[in-house]
């Protein structure tokens, strides 16, 4: 059970993978949770049930985070249900890999929309409340691909690099109002997206990681938990990698 209510955390992409564990960890930390889903309704309901078992209140609703009006409506309804949002974790994202030579406009646009436009939409719809209250925390989930680039992922790498630039600029804008903005950049993390990889690819990936293992989702969630806490009260505008040293 959580010990005390710290406010309301909005987590996008919380139905599965990294977002799911982040949402559950924040519930353990004492937050009530607002999160949305676009397709995975059954998975979202399972996360909702888990969070409620931890003693937190939950607001769950369908929302296309790549659509500004949808996000605006979701946030309005979430705050009417739970109260003012105090923490934002932008985690929603997709991949659609191909060499640039074979990448069509839809593959480019859909990834940019889901990964980067969504960050603008959520931050734009919550920032006024943060400024008004002179309090708030934003944690955007990027990737090591956004720091260093990945071949055959120009769309994904561009979207994740955009998140880093967005976050640094916003941190400078709103720091004077007591609002912190940071980025978490995971490396190779064990999620449902990595489960389908064959053993040869997994072995090759692990051989490139100095710690010689794939990261756990909880390790990403623990960093988010720290950055959201008062222990990180003097940290803003930073991009922190959780990657086992894969890029050194």
Rounded to a whole number, what is the distance in angstroms from the first to the last CA of the chain?
Answer: 39
What radius of gyration do the chain's Cα atoms show? Answer: 17
Catalytic site positions: 156
Pull the structure tokens for residue 33: 């949770």
Q: How far apart are CA 242 and CA 187, in angstroms?
A: 6
Q: How far apart are CA 30 and CA 33, in angstroms?
A: 9
Distances (CA, A) of 217 to 38, 68, 160, 202: 21, 29, 18, 17
DSSP per position, 144-188: HHHHH--TT-HHHHHHHHHHHHHHHHHHHHHGGGTEEEEEEEE-S
């Amino acid at each position: 059970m959580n010990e005390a209510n710290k406010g309301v955390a909005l987590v996008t992409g919380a139905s599965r993978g990294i977002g799911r564990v982040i949402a559950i960890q924040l519930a353990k930390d004492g937050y009530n949770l607002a999160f949305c889903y676009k397709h995975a309704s059954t998975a979202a309901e399972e996360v909702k049930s888990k969070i409620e078992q931890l003693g937190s209140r939950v607001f769950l609703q369908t929302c296309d985070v790549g659509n500004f009006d949808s996000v605006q409506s979701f946030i309005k309804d979430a705050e009417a249900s739970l109260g003012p949002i105090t923490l934002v974790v932008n985690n929603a994202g997709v991949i659609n890999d191909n060499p640039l030579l074979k990448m069509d406009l839809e593959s480019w646009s859909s990834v940019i929309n889901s990964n980067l436009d969504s960050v603008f939409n959520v931050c734009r719809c919550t920032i006024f409340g943060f400024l008004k209250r002179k309090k708030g925390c934003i944690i955007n989930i990027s990737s090591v691909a956004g720091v260093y680039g990945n071949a055959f992922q120009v769309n994904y790498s561009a979207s994740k690099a955009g998140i880093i630039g967005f976050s640094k600029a916003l941190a400078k804008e709103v720091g004077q109002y007591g609002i912190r903005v940071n980025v978490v950049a995971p490396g190779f993390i064990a999620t449902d997206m990595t489960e389908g990889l064959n053993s040869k690819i997994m072995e090759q990936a692990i051989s490139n990681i100095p710690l010689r293992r794939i990261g756990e989702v909880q390790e990403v969630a623990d960093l988010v938990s720290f950055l959201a806490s008062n222990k990180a009260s003097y940290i803003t505008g930073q991009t922190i990698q959780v990657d086992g040293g894969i890029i050194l």
